[in-house]
Amino acid sequence: MSPAARILAALTCATALLLVSGCSFSNSGTAPSSAKQFTFVAPGGQDRIFYDPPQDRGEVRGLSGQDMVKDDRTLSLANFRGQVVVLNVWGTWCGPCRAEMPDLQQLHQRLGPQGVTVLGIDVRDDRDAARDFLASRSITYPNIFDQPGRSLLALEGFPRNTVPSTVVLDRQHRVAAVYLRSIRLSELLPVVQRVAAEPSSPAPTPGPAPGAEGSR
């Protein structure tokens, strides 16, 4: 084979490989999100912040931590794809946290059929004490045990020492609302219902057995 023919054959082979690679990439699964990543900006003394319209919201990425109940399992937002997620940062040592938990449990049970879940993040706590606390109050929504608060690093700039705090994520896991204080069901319910009713393309998929997360 002449040198020119060898070069032509090599170029043909390389082009074919690129085409195959391109087809393989396009069929590999869900396209990456085009939403910007969420960054918290200090609200100037406000203790509740709403992010609208939806297309301007920032997405929370990479939030995960150890399952409160199952030592060998990690919980992440990926477990709740297509669902509205109400993140609640709490600790057994926090009086307002304990006071708002029955309302969060009620929200979880009431809106679960609509693709809504509460996901607790337990910080600066003792794991056994936290497990017993959840069981004694019949809390069934899933919880991440995160003693040092590392999972909250996914919320860039978020004040991790503000406990309790609640973050409402829409079905694309973009931040729709933030509460830097305790909250009551009468205030939270209409906000979560509104976010749950927003148009959304991904269909809700079941999370990790919420009925078994709060007790043994």
Q: Percent of the chain having pLDDT more than 70? A: 76
Report if residue 69 sits inside a domain: yes
Q: What is the pLDDT of residue 70?
A: 87
Closest listed residue to residue 148, CA positions, set 124, 180, 120: 124
The domain that holds 62 is classified in CATH as 3.40.30.10
How confident is the model over 130-148, as pLDDT tens digits?
999 999 999 999 999 999 9
198 in Cβ contact with 50 (< 8 Å): no
Q: Is residue 13 part of a domain?
A: no
* pTM over 0.85, yes/no: no
Inside any domain, residue 72: yes
Q: Which amino acid is at 14?
A: A
Q: Please, is 25 exposed, middle or buried when counting C-beta atoms within 10 Å of its C-beta (0-12, 13-18, 19+)?
A: exposed
| Structure token pair of residue 65 | 């931590």
For 146, other C-beta atoms within 10 Å of its C-beta total 23
Q: Is residue 105 part of a domain?
A: yes
Residue 108 within a domain = yes
- Whether 13 has a pLDDT exceeding 80, the answer reads no
Determine, yes or no, domain membership for 24: no
Number of domains in the chain: 1
**Average pLDDT, rounded, for the chain:** 83
Whether residue 12 is contained in a domain is answered as: no
Q: Is residue 51 part of a domain?
A: yes
Shortest CA distance to 149 belongs to which of 66, 58, 45? 66
64-67, strands of its sheet edge to edge: 48-50, 175-179, 165-169, 84-90, 116-122, 143-145, 64-67, 74-76
- Calculate mean pLDDT across residues 117-133: 96
Rounded to whole angstroms, how far apart are CA atoms 112 and 14?
A: 52
Residue 71 has pLDDT above 50, yes or no: yes
**Nearest by Cα to 33 from 12, 10, 55:** 55
Structural domain containing residue 71: 34-212
Chain centroid, CA 199 distance in Å:
18
Closest CA to 90 of 116, 61, 129: 129
